Structure 1
């Protein structure tokens, strides 16, 4: 018989600004319970985190990607997000890289770069910036080529 657990109730902490800190009682699958507190940067709802395995908990904050109109054989074009992701931390993970805030980056839909450290994320940003500089050069060449083509 399955017992439904109530939704977590977020109680503002008395020692921090009310909107930033969320705390709830979490029942652990193997027995017992623990009081969880969201980091102030976490925007996850934790709607389904009222019970479960400790290592299922993740705190995070999404950031949107750029949407590009990509060719779609059925619809002509379809919006495709690129470079979307989230800051994440998995406080109970057995993987030490997940227990520290990191970036989960989706270069394009359904592809992922996981557990990026600040230095690794900076390297990705530098690579994208460099590529955009190269695309500026290609754009200038295209403009020149189109003028000469006429």
Structure 2
């Protein structure tokens, strides 16, 4: 079979040695050289070589895309976990603050300072505007405690 002299020269230039072959394949994957510059000389020798070249490029490009995608997905998952951790810390801090505030309110309501709230203490608290406001800020109704 006779081959175009230009194709033979192209093949020598792109695939003349192992290092040239590796460079040519890398360049074809990354856009350093047009695929057709490598494909047509190979396909002229054998359609099988052209087919193998296209399969190589396709698999290599898909592998690179897969790696890049996995990096982004991994980073997104890590950010989501950090977000959940931050929200949990915020909830814990809110709970601590609510307990602290409720403790302060109950100490104010315990007029006898016995550590026990009586029904009389609760009735007095219902009449106290400041205590009703404190309960409301915590999302509680003081009347719920009485009933």
Tell me, yes or no, whether TM beats 0.5: no
Between structure 1 and structure 2, the one with the greater Rg is 2
Q: Which has the higher contact order (CA 8 A, sep 6+)?
A: 1
Structure having the larger proportion of residues in strand: 1
Structure having the larger proportion of residues in helix: 2
TM-score, normalised to structure 2's length? Answer: 0.27
